[in-house]
Structure 1
Amino acid sequence: MITGKLPNDLLEKMVFKHINHKRKEVLTGASIGEDNALVDFGEEVAVLSTDPITGAVNDVGRLSIEISVNDVSTSGGDVIGVLMTLLAPRGISYEDIERIMKDAGEAAERLDVEIMGGHTEITDAVNRVVISTTVIGKIKKKNILKLEDIKKGYKVIMTKSTAIEGTSILLNDYEDFFKDKISREMIEEGKRYGEKISVKQEGEIGGKIHVNYMHDITEGGLLGAVWEAHKAINMGIKIYEEKIPITKITKEMTRILEIDPLRLISSGSMLIIADEAKSKLLIEKLNKRGISVSVIGEVIDDGAFIESKDNLKIIEPPRADELYRAIEKLNSTIDK
Structure 2
Amino acid sequence: MKNGKISESILKRSVLKQLHTKSDRVTLKSAVGEDCAVIGSETHAMSADASIVTCTQSFTLDVTDKNVRAKCAVYAALNNIYAAGALPIGIEMALLIPTTENEANLRETVRVIDAVCEEAGIVVLGGHTQVSRAVKNIIVNITAIGEADEACLTPSSAVRPGMDIIVTGYVGLEGTAILANECKEKLTTRFSTAFVNKSAAYIDVISTAKEAASAVGAGAAAIHDASEGGIFGALWDMAEASKVGLDIDLKKIPIKQDTIEISEFFDINPYKLLSGGSLIIAAMDGNRIVREIEKTGQNAVIVGVATGSNDRVLIQGDERRFLETAQTDEIYKVFNS
Shorter-chain TM-score bucket reads: over 0.9
Does the CA contact (< 8 Å) of 1:215 and 1:229 recur in 2? yes
Does the CA contact (< 8 Å) of 1:66 and 1:198 recur in 2? yes
Of 210, 213, 233, which residue of structure 2 is paired with 1:204? Answer: 213
CA shift for structure 1 position 286: 1.7
d(CA) in 2 for partners of 1:327 and 1:236? 33
Q: Normalising by the residue count of structure 2, what TM-score does the alignment of the two structures yield? A: 0.93
Letter in 1 for 2:330: E
d(CA) in 1 for partners of 2:242 and 2:112? 36
CA shift for structure 1 position 9: 1.0
- State the secondary structure of the residue aligned to 1:116: strand
Of 280, 294, 303, which residue of structure 2 is paired with 1:296? Answer: 303
Equivalent runs, 1:17-28 vs 2, <5 Å: 17-28=17-28
d(CA) in 2 for partners of 1:81 and 1:251? 35
d(CA) in 2 for partners of 1:273 and 1:300? 12
Gaps of 5+ in 2: 43-48
Does the CA contact (< 8 Å) of 1:56 and 1:173 recur in 2? no
- State the secondary structure of the residue aligned to 1:227: helix
Gaps of 5+ in 1: 330-336
d(CA) in 1 for partners of 2:152 and 2:253? 29
Q: Which residue of 2 aligns with 1:307?
A: 315
d(CA) in 2 for partners of 1:239 and 1:22? 36
Letter in 2 for 1:229: M
Letter in 2 for 1:328: N
CA shift for structure 1 position 207: 2.0
CA shift for structure 1 position 315: 0.7
Q: Which residue of 1 aligns with 2:78?
A: 69
Q: 1:130 to 1:319 in 2, by over 3 A?
A: same
CA shift for structure 1 position 147: 6.5
d(CA) in 2 for partners of 1:238 and 1:140? 31
Query: Would you say 1:323 and 2:331 are equivalent positions?
Result: yes
CA shift for structure 1 position 94: 2.1
Q: 1:55 to 1:238 in 2, by over 3 A?
A: farther
Letter in 1 for 2:19: I
Where in structure 1 do 4 or more consecutive aligned residues deviate above 6 Å? Answer: 146-149
Letter in 1 for 2:152: N
Q: Normalising by the residue count of structure 1, what TM-score does the alignment of the two structures yield? A: 0.93
Letter in 2 for 1:27: T
Q: Which residue of 1 aligns with 2:265?
A: 256
Equivalent runs, 1:113-192 vs 2, <5 Å: 113-145=122-154, 150-192=159-201
d(CA) in 2 for partners of 1:143 and 1:117? 28
Of 48, 52, 60, which residue of structure 1 is paired with 2:54? Answer: 48
CA shift for structure 1 position 257: 1.1
Point out the more displaced range, 316-325 or 90-99: 90-99
Does the CA contact (< 8 Å) of 2:172 and 2:230 recur in 1? yes
d(CA) in 1 for partners of 2:159 and 2:11? 26
Letter in 2 for 1:325: K
